[in-house]
Amino acid sequence: MTGLWIFAAVSFLGFMAYAFQLWAVRAALKTASGNDAGSPASGLFVPPISILKPLKGLDDNLFDNLESFCNLDYPEYEIIFSFQNRNDQAFKVAGKIRDKYPHRDISLVVEPCNAGLNPKVNNLIPAYRRSKHNLVLISDSNVMVGEDYLKEIVKHMENPEVGLVSNVIKGVGSHSMGSVLENLHLNSFILGSVCFLDRFMGMPCVIGKSMLMRKSDLDAIGGFDAVKDFLAEDYVIGQRMHQSGRKVVLSNYAIHNVNSSWGLDRFINRHTRWGKLRWQIGGVKYLSELLCNPVFMAFLPVVLWGPSRATLCLVLSASLIKIAGDYYIGTRVLSGVATDAGRIDGTVPRMSCYLLVPLKDILIGGLWFVPLISSTVAWRGNRYRIGKDSQLFPLASGLQVRTLFSPAMLLQKAITGTLRMAYSIRERSA
């Protein structure tokens, strides 16, 4: 029984941390953290911007995502869609966008680049070389923005001390189980952590969905060459910018990260990969993630001592509190900052989707252990081993076979397989 109290206490501490995250999210979305960086927001500061969009494959909602960048209310900007291969399926979509907006300065760059091991950076290097303006915005293909996006983020750059502006992200477009879990996680743990680190810890936590920088500042920290072999190139750029004395600002302008038709395996793959990144970057601090997962901590006694009134009460209480908290962020806090929300079908997870929050947290809790026993990642068709600060190392072919049967991979496969089987049974019985 003592053990149960210990887990209950840890779960309570997790909720305390969660409350701070909620507070941080509310605070961050109400006022830009850039204000303390002294952004005057005069509205007259509208320098030309080069938007670099590295594209590979068909992301959900790709056409609308790209099109949203053609309708920005901003005087002068160019968009560079960059590809490693002309046969990429996104090439056709980008071509259609260019044809639809002939008055926009849009170019398609196809240039294979093997400078480093990070495929996104390889894709960015040729686009960066061809960009015309001093301000560059790196924007992922699965991002959709509103018309005032550029005006909202560029105002921070009026302050010469600011070196990088990133944004809070909101997961939208839930049409499948994987997408629902992904968006629930983005809109709770990821959003909460980014805001908490920015607000209370003063730590830049840059997510590469949107990064606005001056070329001079990026070049001063070594440019893309310096991060070409890092998986978390966004985090490394943010850190180096911070270390170079430049301010890293988290804009309160929420951009949409569209995840519509993800499978469970993609959700698991991404968060295993992100977990490995955080383990390699944060080291022992990674432990705090487990302690800050109150539902998982409340669920462990059920596994250890079996279901009983006490253990079930604990996990049920924790689940209800977490559902309420995540629902509050997703529907109240984030809805106030929605940009063009009506344009995406199934924008916000429905209320019933929030019932999946405990399942998601337990799943994430299980995945937390994978980075401790594996340092290999699969990303966009490539497999790597990751080292300190997410530095990538190529995997020898012999090692690839071995990793397929590694304990981490087997654990990941077991979780995916169990969920798939449950989903399949549910579908058949429906």
d(CA 306, CA 130): 61
Span of 12-20, 95-103, 297-305, 363-371 interacting with another protein by CB under 8 A = 95-103
175 binds another protein (CB under 8 A): yes
In the complex with another protein, the residue whose CB is nearer, 83 or 235, is 83
| Contact letters for another protein, residues 256-295 (x by CB under 8 A) | -----x----------------------------------
Q: How near is the Cβ of 176 to another protein at its closest, in Å?
A: 8
User: Residue 62 in contact with residue 95, Cβ under 8 Å?
Assistant: no
Least distance to another protein, CB of residue 62, Å? 5
One of 89, 243, 382, 400 touching another protein (CB under 8 A): 89
Query: Judged by CB under 8 A, which of 27, 37, 41, 58 binds another protein?
Result: 58
- Give the integer Cα–Cα distance in Å for 266 and 57: 15
Q: How far is the CB of 222 from another protein (least distance, A)?
A: 34
- 129 lies in the site for another protein, by CB under 8 A: no
Region near another protein per CB under 8 A, out of 17-25, 93-101, 117-125, 348-356: 93-101
At CA 369, angle to CA 363 and CA 371, rounded to 5? 115
Q: From residue 355, how far is each of 71, 324, 328, 360 by CA, in Å?
A: 36, 10, 13, 9
Region from 85-93, 140-148, 205-213, 299-307 binding another protein, contact rule CB under 8 A: 85-93
Cβ-count burial 28-40 (b if 16+ within 10 Å, e if not):
bbeebbbeebebe
Choose, by CB under 8 A, the member of 96, 129, 350, 380 that binds another protein. Answer: 96
Cβ atoms of 83 and 110 within 8 Å: the answer is yes
62 lies in the binding site for another protein (CB under 8 A)? yes
Instruction: Please tell me whether residue 335 binds another protein under the rule CB under 8 A.
Output: no
Binding residue (CB under 8 A) for another protein from 22, 51, 90, 353: 90
Strands (E) in 199-312, as ranges, are 210-214, 247-258
How many whole angstroms separate alpha carbon 195 and alpha carbon 206?
A: 10
- Total number of residues binding another protein (CB under 8 A)? 19
Within 10 Å of residue 420's Cβ, how many Cβ atoms?
Answer: 14
Cα–Cα distance measured from residue 248 to residue 367, given in angstroms and rounded to the nearest whole number: 30
Question: In this chain, which stretch among 26-34, 44-52, 87-95, 299-307 interacts with another protein, using CB under 8 A?
Answer: 87-95
- Identify the residue among 44, 99, 216, 397 touching another protein (CB under 8 A): 99
Is the CB of 45 or the CB of 423 nearer to another protein? Answer: 423
CA nearest to 120, candidates 57, 185, 49: 57
Q: Are strands 135-139 and 49-54 parallel, antiparallel or unpaired?
A: parallel
Among 64, 147, 219, 265, binds another protein (CB under 8 A): 64
Q: Is 380 in the site for another protein (CB under 8 A)?
A: no
At residue 291, the 3 state secondary structure works out as helix
Pick from 3, 38, 40, 57 the residue near another protein by CB under 8 A: 57
Q: Exactly one of 23, 63, 274, 305 binds another protein (CB under 8 A); which one?
A: 63
In this structure, the dihedral spanned by the alpha carbons of residues 134, 135, 138 and 142, taken in order and rounded to 10 degrees, is -130
DSSP assignment of 150-179, as one string?
Answer: HHHHHGGGGSTTEEEEEEEEEEE---SHHH
Tokens of 155: 């105002």
Is 92 near another protein (CB under 8 A)? yes
Look up residue 61 and give its two tokens. Answer: 């909602």
User: Among 36, 76, 161, 345, which residue sits at the site for another protein (rule: CB under 8 A)?
Assistant: 345
Do residues 254 and 334 touch, judged by C-beta distance below 8 A?
yes
Report d(CA 264, CA 270) in Å as an integer: 10
Position 140 contacts another protein (CB under 8 A): no
Shortest spacing between CB 99 and another protein, in angstroms: 7
Q: Which residue ranges make up the site for another protein (CB under 8 A)? A: 57-58, 60-64, 89-90, 92-93, 95-96, 99-100, 175-176, 261, 345
